[in-house]
Amino acid sequence: MNLNRVPVRSFVGPAVVMPLLLVGGCSDLLSPDEPGNLVPRTVDEDPALPALSLNGSLFHLEAVGQPGAPVIVFLHGGPGGDYRSLQRLLEGHGGEPLTDSHRVILWDQRSSGLSRRHDANEITIELYVQDLFELTNHFSPSEPVVLVGHSWGGMYATEFINRHPDRVRGAVLIEPGPLTGERMAEVEDDYMTFDFGAEWLNDYAWSHLFITPDDHARWDYQYSLGYLDSQPKYHMNVDTDPYAFWRWGAAAGRYVEEDGLDENGNYAWDFTDNLSAYPGNVLFIASGWNEVIGEAFQRDQAADYPQAEVRVVPGVGHDLEWVKAGEVLDLIREYLATLEAEGGSQ
């Protein structure tokens, strides 16, 4: 892992900037050292948050829906995001909610969202795979699960299928990022476009001048400033319907990517080299607007699986699971019905 390189790309980013910590005048400036002032507290700092301990970490997690029903595990974007932007997929949107027929697991991944923070040596792709393996065994020890992953979450799901094809009954990949380092190298120049006069960059510069990033809270705050505004080829609804999120995990965003680099700093991951062992059909959902990893890119990636189909949600960018959750949910329900028809209930 090359710790000297600080990546500036992430596969999905937040849209909401935490307010500056002024309450009235300068005399009321809150201390950034106090938990909860810069960013929300993690499960280590707030025992009221729902949490699960496994694989040497503590995860912000909720299990909702029918106990004993087939399990769906949601995988948020990032690395470093949280599951808040996936919550709209739990609403009915005119049909049966997923929780009526399934047990749905929503969780913030390692060092992400409101889960426990870790240092670099405890943020690796291998540990992420172990986390998901233990989580699936905890909630569905005797039956495979369905994975629903957005952006980085779709990459994560693919690497898990690549390693543990027998633990996955089906997968919905909502516009996943590059499944190989080679594909990442092809599109990296379009991942982020910086406008050095942009307001969010001025906010970022302010935080660097006055708040040294010497702990996770400060780094997370800085990392959250304006990522959607820096990805104009990805998103189209930043101002009209911005992502909801709790907290961005900066360390996860940095060190998961660095774990996928070779000794020369080149993108080297390959989450596809064992996908031939997976017999199931996989659903890819692409947005109609994303110019970087939209429909054409996803059709290319779908070919990595023995069986896969690609569906498109028009009129939206990479935030399709939030902005057009109802249309995405309709496609998920159709896919789940196909699984039931092919294999019956668990």
* CATH code reported for the domain at 26-343: 3.40.50.1820
Annotate 179-216 with DSSP letters as a single string: SBHHHHHHHGGGT----TT-HHHHHHHHHHHHS---SH
Per-residue pLDDT tens digits for 242-267: 778 899 998 999 899 999 999 999 99
**pTM, whole model, 2 decimals?**
0.86
The stretch 84-110 carries a mean pLDDT of: 97
Question: How many angstroms separate the CA atoms of 330 and 302, rounded?
Answer: 20
Question: How many angstroms separate the CA atoms of 249 and 123, rounded?
Answer: 11
Dihedral angle over CA of 309, 158, 229, 38, nearest 10: 140
Out of 99-113, 126-140, 228-242, pick the least confident: 228-242
Note the pLDDT of residue 96: 94
Q: What angle is formed at CA 226 by the lines to CA 4 and CA 46, rounded to 5 degrees?
A: 80
With a CB cutoff of 8 Å and minimum separation 6, the contacts of 207 are 218, 221, 222, 225
Between 250 and 167, the more confident residue is 167
Per-residue pLDDT tens digits for 173-222: 999 999 999 999 999 888 654 444 455 455 655 555 543 335 888 888 88
| Entry field: residues in the chain | 346
Phi-psi region at 338: left, alpha or beta (left = phi > 0; alpha = psi -120 to 50): alpha
The stretch 286-297 carries a mean pLDDT of: 95
